[in-house]
Amino acid sequence: MIRNALKMAVAGATLMVTAAATTAQAADAICYNCPPEWADWASQLAAIKSDLGLTVPHDNKNSGQSLSQLIAERNNPVADVVYYGVSFGIQAVDQGVVAPYKPAGWEEIPEGLKDPEGRWFTIHSGTIGFFVNVDALEGRPVPQSWGDLLKPEYRGMVGYLDPTSAFVGYAGATAVNTALGGSFEDWTPAIDYFKRLAGNDPIVPKQTSYARVLSGEIPILIDYDFNAYRAKYKDGANIAFVIPQEGSIVVPYVMSLVANAPNAENGQKVLDYVLSDKGQALWAEAFLRPVRASAMSPEAQARFLPASDYERARPVDYAAMAVGQQDFSDRYLNEVR
């Protein structure tokens, strides 16, 4: 976790420990950062209840808040498993708050997408782009590039999650930095971009903002493809997803078993399930790319943009992404916010 935000977040997380413990009493397993509106965790947790008989409550923390609370609770853990962006998984290992576990299906996870000891592993991935409510644009063209978002016609219409807290926000910053020629040692392109975007009155929430895009409150959100496809195909909204012309990145989301988890056996069952044939198929039905490629049906694949569009989205060095997060956050807090 990024240091500046971490001190404040850990303090806040400490205050939530009692409330979290109360929730845990009514659950068979606790998953941090499993919100119903993100990646269709609602369907995944309902399937876990139906097939395993395990109650796992929804949890609306983001990646940074989840790691902060794990750190605050390290001597008395409440959670059993945690879901977060890959850089937070790497940092959780450094903090010593997660435990090794290699779930069923481990062998099918490609190298580079899992910790060798099983302290985090990818369950699915998403691609950063523009989640656009076409109706809310009120006749304006759908933006096609990072440069387009800076145009005055989109003033007050562009949103991105706080990149110092929410992983998708940091992923978006990484995407724009990479597309504009930066690196994990040089964040100047992204910082300059966000400075310019600040002049266009952006909306910068801390939490998942899916519903705010559907309502038109945020017409354009820098977000993942899976949220845009869900809005288009499940909620029937007039939605477009755009992979910017300058380029973007593909980002894994990972899970871990919490160190000294109070219900570790149930937590392991949850982790087995999300990598099972059915669990992976549910991610594909939620418009995510499952880490086990065999789970992506032709019907699910057909809902994605053409492969030629996805050629503009590339993987990055995720370990370097984790290391670079602190430097970006420091500069963003000092120069943009």
Interval 239-275: pLDDT, tens: 999 999 999 999 999 999 999 999 999 999 999 999 9
Q: What is the pLDDT of residues 94-152, one digit of tens each?
A: 999 999 999 999 999 988 899 999 999 999 999 999 999 999 999 999 999 999 999 99
Sign of CA dihedral 270, 27, 45, 65: negative
Eight-class DSSP state of 28: S
| E strands, the chain, in order | 31-32, 81-85, 98-99, 121-133, 158-160, 220-224, 239-242, 248-258, 289-290, 313-314
Q: 336, 197 in Cβ contact below 8 A? A: no
Say how many Å lie between the first and final Cα of the chain, rounded. Answer: 18
The DSSP symbol for 16 reads H
Q: Is the pLDDT of residue 303 over 80?
A: yes
Lookup result for tokens 């937590």: 267
State whether the Cα torsion 139-145-151-156 is positive or negative: positive
pLDDT reported for residue 311: 93
Identify the burial level of 116 via C-beta atoms within 10 angstroms of its C-beta, where 0-12 means exposed, 13-18 middle and 19 or more buried.
Answer: exposed
Residue 25 binned pLDDT confidence (cut-offs 50, 70, 90): low
